[in-house]
Structure 1
Amino acid sequence: MKIAIVTETFLPSTDGIVTRLCATIQWLQKSGHEVLIIAPDLGINEFEGAKVKGVPARTFFFYPDRKFSLPTHKVKKYLQEFRPDIVHVVNPALVGASGVYYSRRLGLPLVASYHTNIAQYSSYYRLPFLLPLLWKYFRILHNQADVNLCTSESVKDELTSRGFRNLHVWKRGVAVQQFGSQNYDQTMREYLTNGQPEKTLLLYVGRLAAEKGIERIRDVLEGSSNLCLALVGDGPHKETLRCYFRDTNCIFTGFFHGEKLAKAYASADIFVFPSITETLGLVILEAMASGLPVVAARTGPSSEQIVDGTTGLLYLPDDPNSLKETILKLNEKTIRWKIGRNAYNVARSFGWDESAEQLLEFYKLAYNTHSHRNRYLLGLD
């Protein structure tokens, strides 16, 4: 099968979408399929044998740390040259809107996947008046697809209630061979604890953005002198967070990748993920696969990954004391070890192969749905 993937983000950017895409593309290429990636031009021309066609990219005031591509006719040119069997538009918003438009114009089967609560982010960037317009815009884009994918049952329920059609849940996955307690590294722990390895190390991995709610963790640090925090990641909120966490036991590391990231997970004690805006949060599964107990907000997507009290702990985001109280429940090493071991055992069953195989079935469904619709319109069925 020839598959064109149009995405708003790709390497060298790092986030859950890119992680999922890279694992999926690797599997598709190894399975004999041909993949073309159309993405913002960030200097990457090839990935795992798949060609990357770049689209001019630029930064915007609302997110200066990342480049985005606007809608462009170049997407049409690339699709016409490649002649795919299926087009998959990932998180359609800007350049992805071109993917949707030209797929329809060229009569190509279309899959669209929803990964980010962009509409929900509007309140964090002081643009709440845009919320109804954003939901309408994304609904129009997605409802042109033959198949729509999302990453959790709770998000599927919300999108259904907002009029999105043809929805399916795309399974989560994790690089089970990459993560694990065997990656513990004393030097990494020394670094992440700022030379205080005897303290309990809290770890956050992800974008440093306003919608992630990272500020909530400061109260936890101030409530116990035995805690320290490492924020692994980068983003537009970094300098604000540096000021906010000044004079606390907190360090900023920037992004980690590969072996370095695996060592960071394995060398920490507790993974803390305070965000309430996630459609899934793949870093939760990475932390679980590393044997870490996870403390996350009690939201629909997080509750689908964590069994409270067994594979992690869920705090109540509306209670200002809940995060601190929940983390302090993990003071005892034996409790942390037990929950971390349970999390590890669960996470090992979520390899990326199953997720990629499922996606291929969705591609076939979209192809068949599109073909059937065309035959119906032509009066052949």
Structure 2
Amino acid sequence: MKIAIVTETFLPSTDGIVTRLTKAIDYFIREGHEVLVIAPDLGVYDYKGAKVVGVKPITFPFYRYRKWGVPSRKVYRELKKFQPDVVHAVNPILLATSAVKAAQKLDLPLVSSYHTHLPKYLDYYKVYKPAKPLLWWYIKRNHKNADLNLVTSKAIHDELAEQGIERLDIIPRGVDVIHRHPDYRDEEMRERLTGGKPSNKLLVFIGRIAVEKEIHKLLPLLEKRPDISLAIIGDGPARTDIEKRFKGTNTVFTGFIHGEELSKAFATGDAFIFPSVSETLGLVILESMASGLPVIGAKSGPTNEQVAHGVTGMLYENEDLDSMMEAVSVLEDEEKLETMRRNARNEALDYAWDKTSQRLIDFYMEARDRHSVGSRNM
């Protein structure tokens, strides 16, 4: 099968979407499929045999943290030349909207996938919040002609269905159970992540540092619990503000780390803390579980689907400090914590990437079959 993937984000960027895509491409290439990737031009032109075509990116003045691809006729030209069996528009907001239009013009099967819950993000930026109805209209327009629309959780599936988006299905979760493993636990890394206080309980947060990640809500916890250290691993537009707010607490900011260092960071904590309620999935949840870390997370649809309260982690009510403190108190119960570590690891073992990637191939074939009989209304 010839597969064209048009995405708003790709290497060398690091986020959940890029992880999902690279793991899928690894599998596609091994299985003999031909893959073309069209993405913002960040200097990567080949990925393990898959050709990567770059589109000149721009930087928006209100979000200088990253570069963005914008709609381009180059997408149409590349798809026309490649003649794929299926086009996958990943998060069609800017660049990937060109894939939606090109697939229609070229009469190609189209899969669109929804990974970033932008309407929810607007709740955290008051100046943009009134634009939410317009944003939903734009999202629906970019998904209405897909032969299949993929989401990453049942909660998001139901929300998009309520908005009138049709032909929805759920991409299974996936995780690298080899490089996310409890055996990567490392005492030197613990010394680093606790700021030289390895006897402290260690909570780990890994991800983009942005307002919608709600990291600031962890501050009262740290002020009340000086025996807890927090490691914030990642970077983003809110980092400077968060560093100022957390000054004087037991918080370590590492910036982005990769490879074996990141595996060690996942495995070395006592628990993974996940305060965000704006995610479509939160791939880091499953990565932490594979690493043997229980998850302490704010309740939201996608998080509730992944974390079994009292079994693989602890859930707390969003914006309720007492509820958060109660969830974190599990750190004092070493026997229960150890049981949850084992449960988390065992749960993750059911979600190897190859299974997820093969399911994506199945979705591509379903979209191709639907398109061939003109059955988008099925």
For the superposition of Structure 1 and Structure 2, which TM-score range results when normalised by the shorter chain?
A: over 0.9
Structure 2 equivalent of residue 186 of structure 1: 187
| Structure 2 CA distance for aligned equivalents of residues 258 and 143 of structure 1 | 39
Aligned 1:78-97 pairs, distance under 5 A = 78-97=78-97
Structure 2 equivalent of residue 146 of structure 1: 147
Q: Shift of the alpha carbon at 1:63?
A: 2.3
Asked if the contact 1:120–1:277 (Cα under 8 Å) also holds between the matched residues in 2, the reply is yes
Aligned 1:317-328 pairs, distance under 5 A = 317-328=318-329
| Structure 1 CA distance for aligned equivalents of residues 277 and 208 of structure 2 | 14
Asked if the contact 1:10–1:40 (Cα under 8 Å) also holds between the matched residues in 2, the reply is yes
1:311 aligns with 2:312: yes
| Structure 2 CA distance for aligned equivalents of residues 211 and 332 of structure 1 | 31
Asked if the contact 1:294–1:312 (Cα under 8 Å) also holds between the matched residues in 2, the reply is yes
- 3-state DSSP of counterpart to 2:331: coil
1:131 aligns with 2:132: yes
- 3-state DSSP of counterpart to 2:373: helix
The amino acid of 1:243's aligned partner reads: K
Asked if the contact 1:223–1:324 (Cα under 8 Å) also holds between the matched residues in 2, the reply is no
| Structure 2 CA distance for aligned equivalents of residues 198 and 32 of structure 1 | 50
Q: Which runs of 5+ in 2 are unaligned?
A: none
Asked if the contact 2:147–2:376 (Cα under 8 Å) also holds between the matched residues in 1, the reply is no
Q: Shift of the alpha carbon at 1:216?
A: 1.0
Structure 2 equivalent of residue 72 of structure 1: 72
- 3-state DSSP of counterpart to 1:280: coil
The amino acid of 1:197's aligned partner reads: P
Aligned 1:234-313 pairs, distance under 5 A = 234-313=235-314
Q: Shift of the alpha carbon at 1:374?
A: 8.3
Give % identity.
48
Structure 2 equivalent of residue 199 of structure 1: 200
| Structure 2 CA distance for aligned equivalents of residues 58 and 327 of structure 1 | 42
Spell out, residue by residue over 1:25-50, the C-alpha distance to the aligned partner (whole angstroms, 9 max, x if none): 10001100000000000000111110
Q: Shift of the alpha carbon at 1:232?
A: 0.4
Asked if the contact 1:288–1:344 (Cα under 8 Å) also holds between the matched residues in 2, the reply is yes
Q: Shift of the alpha carbon at 1:332?
A: 2.2
| Structure 2 CA distance for aligned equivalents of residues 114 and 244 of structure 1 | 33
Q: Which runs of 5+ in 1 are unaligned?
A: 377-381
Moved more, 125-134 or 161-170: 125-134
Spell out, residue by residue over 1:256-301, the C-alpha distance to the aligned partner (whole angstroms, 9 max, x if none): 2221111001111110000000110000000000001110111111
Structure 2 equivalent of residue 105 of structure 1: 105
The amino acid of 2:241's aligned partner reads: T
Structure 2 equivalent of residue 160 of structure 1: 161
Spell out, residue by residue over 1:170-200, the C-alpha distance to the aligned partner (whole angstroms, 9 max, x if none): 0010001111111011111111111111111
The amino acid of 1:270's aligned partner reads: A
Structure 2 equivalent of residue 6 of structure 1: 6
Flag the 1:333–1:108 CA change in 2: closer, same or farther, 3 A: same
Q: Shift of the alpha carbon at 1:375?
A: 12
Flag the 1:226–1:139 CA change in 2: closer, same or farther, 3 A: same
- 3-state DSSP of counterpart to 2:321: coil
The amino acid of 1:102's aligned partner reads: A
The amino acid of 1:52's aligned partner reads: V
The amino acid of 2:12's aligned partner reads: P
Structure 1 equivalent of residue 348 of structure 2: 347
Q: Shift of the alpha carbon at 1:328?
A: 1.9
| Structure 2 CA distance for aligned equivalents of residues 62 and 278 of structure 1 | 22
| Structure 2 CA distance for aligned equivalents of residues 213 and 324 of structure 1 | 16
| Structure 2 CA distance for aligned equivalents of residues 236 and 330 of structure 1 | 31
Q: TM-score, normalised by structure 2?
A: 0.97
Structure 2 equivalent of residue 56 of structure 1: 56
- 3-state DSSP of counterpart to 1:51: strand
Spell out, residue by residue over 1:152-176, the C-alpha distance to the aligned partner (whole angstroms, 9 max, x if none): 1111011000000100000010001
Q: Shift of the alpha carbon at 1:364?
A: 0.5
The amino acid of 1:101's aligned partner reads: K
Spell out, residue by residue over 1:302-359, the C-alpha distance to the aligned partner (whole angstroms, 9 max, x if none): 1111111111111100423322221123222222211111111111111001111111
Structure 2 equivalent of residue 334 of structure 1: 335
Moved more, 253-262 or 47-56: 253-262
Asked if the contact 1:44–1:52 (Cα under 8 Å) also holds between the matched residues in 2, the reply is yes
| Structure 1 CA distance for aligned equivalents of residues 283 and 57 of structure 2 | 26
Asked if the contact 1:219–1:324 (Cα under 8 Å) also holds between the matched residues in 2, the reply is no
